[in-house]
Amino acid sequence: MSTQDATSPFAQPWEAPDDVRITRVRAIATAPEGIPLLVVKVETSDDGLYGLGCATFTQRWRAVATYVEEHLARLVIGRYPGDIEDLVRLARFSSYWREGPVGNNAVSGLDQALWDIAGKRAGRPVHELLGGKVRAAADTYLHAAGATVEETLDQAEHLREEGLRHIRLQTGQPGAGHYGAPAVPHTATADHQYPGGWNVEEYLRLTPELFAAARARLGPDIALLHDVHSRLSPKQAVVLARSLEPYRLFFLEDVIAPEHWDRLPEVRAASPVPLAVGELTTSLTDAARLVLGGGVDFIRSHVSGIGGLTAARKIAAAAELVGVRTAWHAPGDTSPIGAAANVALDVTSPAFGIQEGHVYTPAVHEVFPGTLRIERGWLRPNEAPGWGIDLDEAAAARFPAGLSGHDAWAARVRGRDGGLIAP
């Protein structure tokens, strides 16, 4: 079937190899762990053929859902689903004002769903469409986090017993939790109107103590990681990195805010610890500048936040060329579809470094049959066509997504003077 225009053969989509067309595009939200997950379902004219893609931007998921159903759907319905690169570019550039986490998560949902369809049509898993495996599985890290050093290290020991070789350590501090760790109880005093306030001097003092205790208790063989969550100035980041040198961290994550990423090369040059950055990238070009700019050792992008698998595979290729390694972002606010996309990249890219993992609850496995499981610290891709993961919509409806506690999570940290600490 030809859709060519008689006067300009390139003004309309070119002739497709068959009659399969996109017929419907929907955004489906569900929260089996209490965290809103957003999945895009792309249906086709081939009965029973559909694809699923991750579009999870937890804090603004309703905006992404609207973007998908009110804007992207009308662009791609009637189009051939095999033209993935063209459709993703069309979606990305359609609004003229582009980039940002809402638009790029919407594009990601479409993109990953199209890759799922491509795999199903070929009868092969997505990783084979990317060129096949260069490793059998992705080594994974999980988080140990407690209100105290002892609680954190208790969790770390448990993870080691489960087979983990890489563990991220986070702990609270007096009066304040750290991102990913609960607070230590603290009593208000007249001197501290905000006793729960975060204090950078305490953080810079206590974090090396955490890792000193970790090495003493866990020994030299476990790879240790830590996330700053973008709270330090460039100079403070160097101070922290140098203080952690004796404990040989695998990486130190997101040491400075994205507003100061132009300073990363100087921070990296002064840091004896490898730097992992990019969780807050919201476009392909953001991620590319980090990889090519000489300021990172690991690229940490949230794959749906930069536009999906198509964008991330380009970042992985660029990373390979300049000696940067990948460490894709994947906590509980990544859907199982997004986790599968991460692992497809991990096992096909020579630039792979490490994969953040999340142990999904039974409810998630019910909603998303085929969800990957971490086994002794390893993640292996499904060998079924596409992602090998389905979405049970009836089960998803039993876990409706609402307003998330994550909505204000990044904007509730204040200093002891009451001032907001920007992540």
What's the per-residue H, E or C state across 205-257?
HHHHHHHHHHHHHHCCCCEEEEECCCCECHHHHHHHHHHCHHHCCCEEECCEC
Residues 6+ away with beta carbon under 8 Å from 17: 80, 82
Q: Helix count (H) and strand count (E) of the chain?
A: 14, 12
Total residue length of the chain: 423
**Residue 10: count of CB within 10 angstroms of its CB:** 8
Which amino acid, one-letter code, is at 312?
A: A
Query: One of 179, 192, 194, 203 is an active-site residue; which one?
Result: 179
Q: Could you give the C-alpha distances from 357 to 171, 222, 312, 330, 331, in angstroms and in order?
A: 19, 16, 18, 6, 6
Query: One of 143, 166, 229, 302 is an active-site residue; which one?
Result: 229
Two tokens, residue 318: 């660029």
179 as an active site residue: the answer is: yes
Residues 6+ away with beta carbon under 8 Å from 102: 57, 60, 63, 64, 67
Q: Which residues are catalytic?
A: 179, 229
